[in-house]
Amino acid sequence: MVAASADEGTNSLMEGPDEHGRFGRFGGRFVPETLVPACAELEDAFRSAWADDGFRAEFHSLLTDYAGRPSPLTDCVNLSTELGFRILLKREDLNHTGSHKINNVLGQTLLAKRMGKSRIVAETGAGQHGVATATAAAYFGQECVVYMGEVDIARQALNVYRMQLLGAEVRPARSGSRTLKDAVNEAMREWVASVESSYYCLGSVMGPHPYPWMVREFHRTIGREAFDQSTALLDGGLPDVVVACIGGGSNAVGIFSGFVDTDVELVGVEPAGGAAVARGVPGVVHGSMSFLMQDEFGQVQEAQSVSAGLDYPGVGPEHAFLADVGRARYEAVTDSEVLDAFELLSRTEGIIPALEPAHGLAWMIRARDELAGKTVLLNLSGRGDKDVAQVQAIRQGDPAALDTVDFSRTNGDAV
């Protein structure tokens, strides 16, 4: 496939959102009246910062000198031979802190500093956004509080300790499913209560405007790099398909941004137990309208995934828009398929993926006949160190081993 351009422009499909924060019919700002001024303040601050060459220069300097960008493109010869099509990996797992999350977090904490906010509040699912936020807060000397579902604290104990080691306070969310959705709820409540002094560092392309737009812009670096690296590797060509996992969808929007205005097929892969695009209907959650898993009474259904980072009943509004206009395709895979993919990449290439991007590989394995002879680029959004103990427990027949946690040694709600 011949390359066209990776540059964002006035005719780009990712030019939006509009003045109301909407991508087509999705997005917007559905928040309590007390948060309207905070969202407006944040939008004004981001517009000013993003138009400031000095801010952008400092941000890109941090990406290079602190996060370790650009992340490389890996040609997977062994796995490609086994599956019958060429597989390229965008190695976001090699960034500082082990995932793509550091891009967005460095941008937002730098913005918080510019706004005079010294206290950072965040949510996390698998812990990678929490670790990245705690890392950046330590770097900038900011106080950091991270909300994490009680179930996720149990299955991601390593990342909990990493956050604590970095100086963050980790607070369990004990309501609902006790996973990512509930951590977002608690973080947003905290923001409402302390909006004058705190900055909410949201971890994905979801939430009220301007978050989906702002987080996308901070992750565009993935798509730009992947476009340039692909054309260099493929003698001026592009991959036939670009694949990324989808929870909220920040890593996917990041890599899709480099290819959305080309003819490359875009495939987002969701967990079967949280397939918001495949099984959801339009609804509002966490401040924006998007596809959302709901029952017949409009109540949010609980998502289920072996991956804590994708355990979310909705999807970022820009993904809903891309699905709505037919530009991106969204598939769902089972936990069993994900575990097999996790082990296959580890065995064939010596690369242990996070369970999140293993979803993308799981779909590629299932679709191997469809993909035969093609070149497929997978965004390897994180490394799998955090998931090894969980997978080991599951493979040993004890999946419940990591679903409980003892808070007896904690001080109040902080762990």
Contacts of 415 (CB under 8 A, 6+ apart): 153, 160, 164, 170, 171, 172, 407
- Encoding tokens for residue 264? 């490359």
Neighbours of 81 (CB within 10 A): 12
**Residue 328 CB coordination number (10 Å):** 25
Q: Which residues make beta-bridge pairs with 375?
A: 86
Are the C-beta atoms of residues 222 and 100 closer than 8 Å to each other? Answer: yes
Closest C-alpha to 254, from 102, 115, 401, 370: 102
Residue 200: both structure tokens together = 């909410």
- What percent of the residues of the chain are helix, what percent strand, and what percent coil, each to the nearest 5? 45, 20, 35
Q: Buried b / exposed e across 340-361, counting CB within 10 Å, b at 16+?
A: bbbebbbebbebbbbbbbbbbb
Amino acid occupying residue 258: G
Q: Which of 73, 13, 81 is nearest to 257 (CA)?
A: 13
DSSP, residue by residue, 117-177: --EEEEEESSSHHHHHHHHHHHHHT-EEEEEEEHHHHHHTHHHHHHHHHTT-EEEEE-STT
Q: Which residues contact 161 (CB under 8 A, 6 or more apart)?
A: none
Which residues are annotated as catalytic? 76, 100
